[in-house]
Structures are given as C-alpha cells and as structure tokens.
Amino acid sequence: MSDERAVPTVEVDDVRRVFSRRGRTTVAVDGVSFTMRAGRDLGIVGESGSGKSTLARIIMGLDTPTSGSVRVQGEDMTAKPRSRVERLRRAKLVQMVYQDPYGSLDPRQSVRACLVEVLRLHPPRDIDIAARASELGDLVGLTPGQLDRSPTGLSGGQRQRVAIARALAVEPRLVILDEAVAALDISIQAQILNLLAELREELGTAYLLISHDLAVVRQLTDDVVVLHHGRVVEQGETGVVLDDPAEAYTRRLRDSIPSAQWREPGTLDALVVTV
C-alpha cells in the first residue's frame, strides 16, 4: 500500500443520478461528493436502495450521472471514451468484483480460458499469457485442476476467487468490490476477506468497498461514506464513524449488529455478520 503509483485517488464531485420511467422519476444518487485519498481504502455503506451500487457503476464508468463528475487518478470516468485506447486505459485504472460471480462468468468457458482472454485484451506487459493465467490462479488460491473447470464446476467461494483473479489480471489501480462477499456462506466470507487483505499488502491494490455489512467494512477500509436515500449523511475515518456515529441513521446501522459479533480490526477469521 506504500506504492503511490498503484493506489488511486477517486474524486466524486456533486454526482446526481435520476432515473425516469413511464413518467415516474427516481433520484438514486443525490449530490454525492467525497474523495478517496491515496493510500487509503474506502467503504460506502447504506441499506438496500441507498444508491450504493448505482454510484459504483458511475465510478466504474458503466453508467453516466445526470450531473456531476467522477475522476480516478485524474481520468474523467463520466466522459464517454472516444477510442479503444481510452477504454483500455480505463480498464487498467479500475475493475469491479460483483456480488454474483456466476452471473458475470461465462459458463461455457473454463476459468483458464477466461483469464487468458482478459490478458489478451489487456496485456499488462510483455508476458507469457498462459504462464500469467496460472500465476493469477495460484495468487487467489485456485489449483490447476480448478482453472481447467467451468464456473459450473466450482463452489461459490471458488467462483468469487475467479472473479478476483480476473479483476487483478489487468493490474488495476482500483478494485471496486460491490457486495463481493454478501452471497457467500459465513465461513467462505472470512476466507475471501483474508484473501483480499493479503492481496492488498502484496500488490498495493486499492479497494473501494460497497456494502451494507458494517463488520466487513470495518475490516477492510480506512475511511467510510454513509449513504441514505442517495445522499451522504456521514463520512470520515471508519473506526471513528462506526464506533461513535454522529448521525442517527449511522447509529441505527451500527446498532443492528449484535455487540457480541462486532469484530475488532485485524480479526478477519471471525464471524461475518450481515445486517
């Protein structure tokens, strides 16, 4: 995490996203602003419908805000890419790991073929692509036999490891984790959280964690932004905000976790509680 080149800064400036359908207007994100500082991982928390995933898609460049801007290391993610080169450059800046890894993987393709395809599209450097695919599998704890299976032949935790390996294949500056452990069993959640922490230390990758699980956010992030109905209600250092919330909404989120299961920092092998 000391390599400043590998740790991005995200700047979200007054982002608003309005959806209109059949004459009905919904404000999903309403004037959100924050900065993810270099060398610090950020969590965005809130209940379902708070605007977390919409904001993640905007930061990723998959959705366009109605107004406002997003920059990842100076790259304007809200401007439409004008060339293939620009799209490739963005891919090397930021990648996303989704909640449902199976839905984002091709069931007709082996894991190895999936990684090779990504490496051919976005070669990080002059490398042996086949060897690099094997290295990525080893990095996330997948055996050679598992690399040769299709996603249908893997467990949920193994598929999430595949999704992480695929995201890391292009050596991005930032990985967005959109409820990346929410669909996993508790024991598997702990394994994936440990893996993410190890990869952060080894690769210097920065994480922007989208979650409604405050225990997970506490473990992986330095700073946190709390969203409610698309608006920021509180932000600051994770420990300060979650241990001593200033806002009533944050206190309600915090109090929904049984005190006996509120984990101390550094105990990633403890129980993960989803609120």
Mean pLDDT rounded to a whole number for the chain: 86
146 belongs to a structural domain: no
Q: Extract the tokens encoding 237.
A: 């250092």
93-111 per-position pLDDT tens digit: 899 998 877 777 888 999 9
**Please, are residues 231 and 31 in contact by the beta-carbon 8 Å criterion?**
yes
Range of the domain at 195: 4-102+172-261
Domain presence at residue 69: yes
Examine residue 117 and state whether it is found in any structural domain, yes or no: no
Task: State how far the Cα of 71 lies from the Cα of 8, in Å rounded to an integer.
Answer: 10
Question: What is the model's pLDDT at position 31?
Answer: 96
- The CATH number linked to 15 is 3.40.50.300
In a domain, 141, yes or no: no
The answer to the question of residue 98 being in a domain is yes
| b/e sequence 208-221, b meaning 16+ C-beta within 10 Å | bbbbbbbbbbbbbb
Q: What is the pLDDT of residue 263?
A: 54
Structural domains in the chain (count): 1
Q: What is the pLDDT of residue 262?
A: 52
Q: Is residue 266 part of a domain?
A: no
The pTM of the full predicted model, rounded to 2 decimals, is 0.86
